[in-house]
């Protein structure tokens, strides 16, 4: 497998969590976050034909290219513990989550030992799925890219009518999310995706220009223009 060049994507957040019982909660919470915040959440899964070395390489690349990481220690998952250690060694900003509900945190002695290895680490505890979503919402709101995004909207659309502000915010969010899990994308592809969402070419071009000027997005010039989150 070719070595991937690691570039940190400012709005990317890595999620490390157990798959069978915990991941579905994160999947549902992330769908809610996506509608409100400009962050790209990454959860890595193993493909059927993917070997362990390839999977580890992908995990390392996605983790090291993230601006923040969340690790869920529920059930003392060994892979999550490994990923947490990698993030800690690499100096990536991170948070440790843990479900306190008995049904969601049953542990064997081996699992308990793994959790003990993480003792002393500050945890964000949740019992119900809505509490998990609330905690992720707080993370999103305080994230540096979200703060930059909100400042951009406030400054660029100051004095605009309520309807214009709402439409502009929705468009800006959708444009940013077109690059979820991607380092860059062709500008034309982003434009086509927004046209399919019902926006017109003029407002799409204007929003891309504004995002580029704000520094939230980099849109390269030329016929083969690309866009990337900055």
Q: Which domains does the chain have, with CATH numbers?
A: 9-142 (3.40.50.450), 145-229 (1.10.10.10)
Write the burial class of residue 82 (CB in 10 Å: 0-12 exposed, 13-18 middle, 19+ buried).
Answer: middle
C-alpha to C-alpha distance for 166 and 180, rounded to whole angstroms: 22
What pLDDT, on the 0 to 100 scale, is given for residue 110?
44
Mean pLDDT along residues 45-67: 80
Q: What global pTM score does this model have? A: 0.88
Residue 106 or residue 135, greater confidence: 135
Residue 189: band (very low, low, confident or very high) from pLDDT cuts 50, 70, 90:
very high
Instruction: Tell me how far apart the terminal alpha carbons of the chain are, to the nearest angstrom.
Output: 27
- What is the percentage of the chain residues whose pLDDT exceeds 90? 72
What pLDDT, on the 0 to 100 scale, is given for residue 113?
47
The yes-or-no verdict on residue 50 having pLDDT over 70 is: no
Give all strands (DSSP E) within the chain, no chain letters. 9-16, 40-43, 66-72, 94-99, 123-126, 185-186, 217-219, 226-229
What pLDDT, on the 0 to 100 scale, is given for residue 114?
46
By residue count, the chain amounts to 230
C-alpha to C-alpha distance for 192 and 175, rounded to whole angstroms: 11
Q: Which range, of 10-24, 36-50, 71-85, averages the lowest pLDDT?
A: 36-50
Mean pLDDT along residues 48-70: 84
Q: Which residue has the tokens 């999103």?
A: 140
DSSP letter at 74 equals G
Residue 29: band (very low, low, confident or very high) from pLDDT cuts 50, 70, 90:
very high
The yes-or-no verdict on residue 108 having pLDDT over 50 is: no
Mean pLDDT along residues 181-209: 97
What pLDDT, on the 0 to 100 scale, is given for residue 52?
66
Mean pLDDT along residues 3-12: 83
Residue 222, φ and ψ in degrees, nearest 5: 105, 175
Residue 55: band (very low, low, confident or very high) from pLDDT cuts 50, 70, 90:
confident
- DSSP reduced 3-state for 71: strand
95 contacts 12 by C-beta, under 8 angstroms: no
C-alpha to C-alpha distance for 106 and 78, rounded to whole angstroms: 14
Residue 218, φ and ψ in degrees, nearest 5: -115, 115
Q: For residue 96, what are the contacts with CB-CB under 8 A and spacing of at least 6?
A: 71, 72, 73, 84, 118, 121, 122, 123, 124
Q: For residue 17, what are the contacts with CB-CB under 8 A and spacing of at least 6?
A: 23, 26, 43, 70, 71, 72, 74, 77, 80, 97
Mean pLDDT along residues 155-159: 95
What pLDDT, on the 0 to 100 scale, is given for residue 1?
45
Mean pLDDT along residues 165-192: 97
The yes-or-no verdict on residue 128 having pLDDT over 80 is: yes
């Amino acid at each position: 497998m070719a070595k991937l060049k690691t570039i940190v994507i400012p709005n990317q957040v890595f999620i490390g969590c157990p798959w069978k019982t915990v991941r579905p909660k994160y999947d549902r919470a992330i769908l809610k976050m996506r509608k409100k915040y400009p962050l790209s959440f990454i959860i890595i899964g193993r493909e059927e034909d993917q070997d362990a070395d390839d999977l580890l390489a992908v995990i390392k690349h996605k983790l090291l290219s993230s601006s923040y990481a969340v690790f869920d220690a529920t059930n003392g998952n060994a892979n999550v513990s490994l990923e947490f250690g990698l993030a800690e060694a690499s100096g990536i900003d991170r948070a440790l989550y843990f479900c306190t509900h008995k049904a969601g945190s049953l542990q064997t002695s081996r699992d308990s030992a793994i959790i003990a290895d993480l003792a002393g680490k500050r945890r964000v505890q949740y019992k119900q799925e809505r509490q998990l979503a609330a905690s992720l919402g707080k993370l999103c709101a305080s994230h540096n890219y979200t703060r930059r995004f909100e400042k951009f909207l406030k400054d660029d659309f100051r004095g605009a009518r309520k309807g214009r502000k709402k439409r502009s915010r929705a468009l800006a969010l959708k444009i940013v999310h077109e690059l979820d899990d991607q380092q860059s994308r062709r500008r034309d592809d982003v434009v086509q995706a927004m046209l399919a969402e019902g926006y017109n070419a003029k407002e799409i071009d204007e929003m891309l220009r504004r995002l580029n000027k704000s520094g939230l997005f980099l849109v390269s010039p030329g016929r083969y223009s690309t866009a990337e989150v900055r």
